[in-house]
Amino acid sequence: MTVLAPGLAPADDQELTGLLAASAAAEVPDGGAALLGWLADHDRHAAMTVHRADLAALEGWTDDPVGGRIHHRSGRFFAVEGLDVQVPGAPVEHWQQPIIRQPEVGVLGILATRIGGVLHLLMQAKVEPGNPVGHQLSPTVQATRSNYQRAHGGRAVPYLEYFLGTVPGARTVVDVRQSEQGSWFLRKRNRNVVVEVPGGPEAVPARPGFRWCTLAEVHRALAVTDVVNMDTRTVLSCLPLAGGALRPAGAGRPDDFRAALLRSMLGESGGVHRTADLLSDLTVARTETDVDVGRVPLHTLQGWSRRDGAIVHDDGAYFSVVGVDVVARGREVARWSQPMFAAHGTGLVAFVVRRIGGVLHVLAALRTEPGFVDAVELAPTVQCTPENYAHRPASQRPAYLDRVLAADPDRLRFDTVMSEEGGRFHHTRTRYVVVEETGDDPDLVTGPGHRWVTLAQLSELVRHSHYLNVQARSLLTCLHSLALCA
Amino acid sequence: MTVLAPGLAPADDQELTGLLAASAAAEVPDGGAALLGWLADHDRHAAMTVHRADLAALEGWTDDPVGGRIHHRSGRFFAVEGLDVQVPGAPVEHWQQPIIRQPEVGVLGILATRIGGVLHLLMQAKVEPGNPVGHQLSPTVQATRSNYQRAHGGRAVPYLEYFLGTVPGARTVVDVRQSEQGSWFLRKRNRNVVVEVPGGPEAVPARPGFRWCTLAEVHRALAVTDVVNMDTRTVLSCLPLAGGALRPAGAGRPDDFRAALLRSMLGESGGVHRTADLLSDLTVARTETDVDVGRVPLHTLQGWSRRDGAIVHDDGAYFSVVGVDVVARGREVARWSQPMFAAHGTGLVAFVVRRIGGVLHVLAALRTEPGFVDAVELAPTVQCTPENYAHRPASQRPAYLDRVLAADPDRLRFDTVMSEEGGRFHHTRTRYVVVEETGDDPDLVTGPGHRWVTLAQLSELVRHSHYLNVQARSLLTCLHSLALCA
């Protein structure tokens, strides 16, 4: 209940939540075909050619044998460095690996406006060198600081001004720094920001390559392989989609799963754990987990070698660091080279979910990754590359992995392969899965490293930095799409 | 409204909030004299003698001329190091200073239980070497990790087990890591934790030196100089004291100021800024503020010298690093030596507050301190040592300082001198002030570095790490005491 005093802003954002829920429940007339067609048009008219190149000979980059790192000659963008990691008490206590250091906080921003009373998001058709196929649905702005300060001498970033606070009348929907892959980035953070502007598309026209979409259209596209890019998924996960304003959208739903999901987002029914206990669990885990990371020269990394112009793991596992030469039409600059990380095998990221007391809960893991700013974040139930564990005994396989792989198809509530950020990761894809458990299997009792949490709790946490890792945020967006579609 | 499903915990902690509010509104029969008498008794029976000693000759400590730092020979506890600070764009862009490095996360814990239905807190009478006079009201447990892992070979820390998660049936009220003085500590954090145990004092008896107190008794003691210690103030600030459960406590209050304060804690009436905008302001400030800190040897610090066995600033300003020899009765060990920071002059920490739309707002500053984990936290309106600015022109004096110093006494809602943590700071005292502004003075329009926030917003933020600095948290506890007393 909001009892607003004159001149004061409301204590909560339920009006925004209602607007967002209505946009997510909007009809998608052609089942989303128009949006996919629009992306495909861009593939025809703005091609990008990517060729592998020797890491030691990338135009503009120094493969420094003394410092033992690969960095851009301008000192900007990012660097590939060697990392020594020690996590006393972890299953693997010590290892070394390459990692991307990108200390700048970039902007991942989506503009919103009302069209005919329905909130629309300004999405961009963007192709990145790492994309497995063509253009993907990207935020309005996706820019590192080097990028938008034009370190490469390219064109200005369109719409950037809305996210740098220079446009009056705009309303911030959300604005929070979030981590990215902590196994591949050292303490990287980006601002995840959504800004609503008044005046509709007349005030802010969509330039070529941009399109105003309802949240329903973007949510629908999540079901298609390689269409919604990682940056869109993480920004949308931060939308305020919890609380009572969701009620009308879910009225009279016949589907038990969706009703339980919506009840989980409403948040009124509580959950297995008090939020105070979840916060305490994170406090204790972060207090007790010592993650010691230190730089080592790339050429001395234990377990890694140079082969065919790339840095590869001696077991052929995990990922490689590769170089690429890129030629693009329709971007800020037409030609560049850069290092990229290329994962081996398709990743698996899954939330095991179940209804408890009629409320859908997801099983979140307390996970440590070397690049996290704060040691531990909430992560999906399972997050790994199954290939890396193919020949390991059951005791060495990640918890719940076999349960997810063996799940009956009729319990898969979401199952799409999507790619990770195409600006840094080369053909690096992940299968995103939501699998519902039923019955009272004792294996599903929470172990020390997992907690059953509601979607309302995840939405409360994701307003703040560093509680949910990027994979958990992607899945949160997928869950929202299941709950709110018409 | 809580619609609880069977087996689920409630979505909010309003039952706890109600319990805490009732404890804060409990009658204090003798006006608090018994509690003060109890503390004074301890002064008579457990004395501590503190003598100044040369930093270079402290028993157990190495004043390392090569590494340029002062550290304990065990490698534990803490170290005094030299810090080079660069904050491009700040009023002072570059300086050097000594700083305390204490990377361990300690425990500041208060036990709670119900006595006759009223929540009581287990407080400790504790004397610390830096205390200006005698014993202060301290949390149940106040322990560094070295401390409770018995690095000094002392006695076990009483009641510690309740905060390490080893006692079943306990309920976590709050558990969050918070920063401490970012000008004196490098990235120090302590767990602020309150745990409710069942069974009353029969189940958990108060040992000698401990006493079960209502929240009202502790709040009342805030009005007395040097009684409630810093650790108690910060832990209490994190209590969930917002929301509808406060309503009964405030029913029918005749006092306009208190009614506005309570409305601010209730949170239903909203505030000048949406919480989403406050979070965005912090995101932007943290993104744009580059705080570059690096270690330098103590003996090369620009602007600082050794004099009379201490490290002092060449202007005689700010603070000194001094050594002390301590002899104590009634503590874990009877005799030790240590370095301490000694501030010059009494600090001033003030919230300017005003009623806006009938809701009390406090003017919080977006403040950068070199030791913060995350560059910027919300701080009091004014936080400085006025002596350091005595002879500076108005343009160089902190914003709002003169307004607070000149405030009419009848607008001072809170005004007590209290001391900073006596384990690290020697006779370092701060005047804590809440001053109410009335009228529509244009000088009170928010500048770029300040925001008007409600107490409900502060309570929402303080559940999470690193939003409110330790001085703001102390003042939040003082404001709670004004709102909730009988």
The pLDDT, as a whole number, for residue A165 is 80
Specify the amino acid at residue B279.
L
CB contact under 8 A, A8 and B356: yes
Q: How many CB pairs under 8 A join A and B?
A: 145
pLDDT in tens, B42-87: 998 878 999 999 999 999 999 998 889 999 999 888 999 999 999 9
Residues of chain A found within 8 Å of residue B278, distances taken between Cβ atoms: none
User: What is the nearest CA distance from B305 to chain A, expressed in angstroms?
Assistant: 33
pLDDT at A149: 72
The predicted model gives B253-270 an average pLDDT of 89
Q: How far apart are CA B312 and CA B368, in angstroms?
A: 23
Nearest CA in chain B to A266: B11
CA dihedral B164, B170, B171, B177 (to 10 degrees): -10
Model confidence at B144: pLDDT above 60 = yes
pLDDT for B145 beyond 90: no
Task: Write down the pLDDT at residue A1.
Answer: 39
pLDDT of residue A249: 65
Inspect the interface and report whether the beta carbons of A279 and B8 lie closer than 8 Å: no
Closest by CA to A131, choosing from A54, A50, A236, A209, is A50
Confidence of residue B102 (pLDDT cuts 50, 70, 90): very high
Q: Do B4 and A464 touch (CB under 8 A)?
A: no
How much is the average pLDDT of B442-460? 84
Confidence category of residue B447, pLDDT binned at 50, 70, 90: low
**B103 touching A (Cβ < 8 Å):** no
Note the pLDDT of residue B6.
Answer: 61
B4: how many CB neighbours lie within 10 A of its CB?
Answer: 13
Nearest to A242 by CA among A472, A465, A479: A479
The angle formed by the CA atoms of residues A184, A190 and A194, to the nearest 5 degrees, is: 140
pLDDT at B158: 95
Q: Which residues of B153-185 are buried (b: 16+ CB within 10 A; e: fewer)?
A: eeeebbbbebbeeeeeebebbbbbbbbbbbbbb
Question: Which residues of A fall within a CB distance of 8 Å from B2?
Answer: 268, 270
How far from the centroid of its chain's Cα atoms is residue A107's Cα? 14
Q: Residue A440 has what pLDDT?
A: 66
What's the gap in Å between the CA of B388 and the closest CA on chain A? 35
Is B92 in CB contact (< 8 Å) with chain A?
no
* B365 contacts B353 by C-beta, under 8 angstroms: no
Closest by Cβ to B172, choosing from A5, A173, A277: A277
Q: What is the ipTM of this complex?
A: 0.95
Asked whether residue B353 carries a pLDDT value surpassing 50, the answer given is: yes
Q: Do B8 and A277 touch (CB under 8 A)?
A: no
Chain position carrying tokens 């005292």: B429
SS3 label, residue A182: coil
For the record, the structure tokens of A453 come out as: 């949490």
Q: What is the mean pLDDT of residues B342-347?
A: 97
Q: Which of B283, B290, B451 to mutate to test binding with chain A, by most A CBs within 10 Å of its CB?
A: B283
A103 touches chain B (CB under 8 A): no
Contact A253, A262 (CB under 8 A): yes
Range with lowest mean pLDDT among B94-103, B237-246, B386-395: B386-395
Q: Which two tokens stand for residue A81?
A: 């460095």
> Is the Cβ pair B268, A1 closer than 8 Å?
yes
Is B13 in Cβ contact with A276 (below 8 Å)?
yes
- Provide the strand spans (E) within A216-334: 292-296, 304-307, 310-313, 319-328
Give mean pLDDT, residues B239-261.
83
Looking at residue B332, its pLDDT comes to 58
**Containing H/E element for B480?**
helix B470-484
pLDDT in tens, A126-151: 999 999 989 999 999 999 887 777 65
Tens digit of pLDDT per residue, chain A (486 long)?
344 556 899 989 999 999 999 999 999 989 999 999 999 999 988 789 999 999 999 999 999 988 899 999 998 889 999 999 999 998 899 999 999 999 889 999 999 999 999 999 999 999 999 999 899 999 999 998 877 776 556 678 999 999 998 788 999 999 999 999 999 999 999 999 999 999 999 999 999 999 999 999 999 999 999 999 999 999 999 999 999 999 876 666 667 899 999 999 999 999 999 999 999 999 999 999 999 999 999 999 999 999 999 999 999 889 999 999 999 876 555 899 999 999 999 999 999 999 999 999 999 999 999 999 999 999 999 999 999 998 889 888 999 999 999 999 999 999 999 999 999 999 999 999 999 998 766 556 666 799 999 999 999 999 999 999 999 999 999 999 999 988
CB < 8 Å from A in window 171-190 of B: 172-177
How far is residue B18 from each of residues B23, B24, B25, B250, B376, measured CA to CA in Å?
A: 9, 10, 10, 12, 32
CA quadruple A389, A393, A396, A399: dihedral, nearest 10: 80
- Is the Cβ pair A287, B177 closer than 8 Å? yes
- Which residue on chain A is closest to B193 by alpha carbon? A280
Query: Of B402, B461, B416, B222, nearest to B451 (Cα)?
Result: B461
Q: Do B276 and A3 touch (CB under 8 A)?
A: no
Q: What is the pLDDT of residue B65?
A: 84
CB atoms within 10 A of CB B266: 22
Tell me which chain A residues have a C-beta less than 8 angstroms from the C-beta of B283.
Answer: 175-177, 191, 193, 465
Average pLDDT, chain B: 92
Sign of CA pseudo-dihedral A110, A111, A114, A115: negative
For residue B147, give how far its alpha carbon lies from the nearest alpha carbon of chain A (Å). Answer: 15
Q: According to DSSP H, which parts of A30-81 are helical? A: 33-45
CA distance B236 to B221: 13
Phi and psi of B235, rounded to 5°? -65, -45
Residue B303 contacts residue B312 (beta carbons within 8 Å): no
Can you read off the two tokens belonging to residue A45?
Answer: 């008219």
Q: Would you state the pLDDT for residue B253?
A: 61
At B43, is the secondary structure helix, strand, or coil? helix
Query: Chain A window 375-404: which residues touch B at a Cβ cutoff of 8 Å?
Result: none
Cα separation of B24 and B16, whole Å?
12
Look up residue B116 and give its amino acid: G
B2, B7, B284: residue with CB nearest A357: B7
CB-closest option in A11, A12, A267 to B11: A267
- In total, chain A counts a number of residues equal to 486
List Cα–Cα distances, A83 to A92, A344, A461, in angstroms: 15, 19, 29
The minimal CB distance from B9 to the residues A1, A272, A456 is found for A272
Helix (H) / strand (E) element for B436: namely strand B429-436
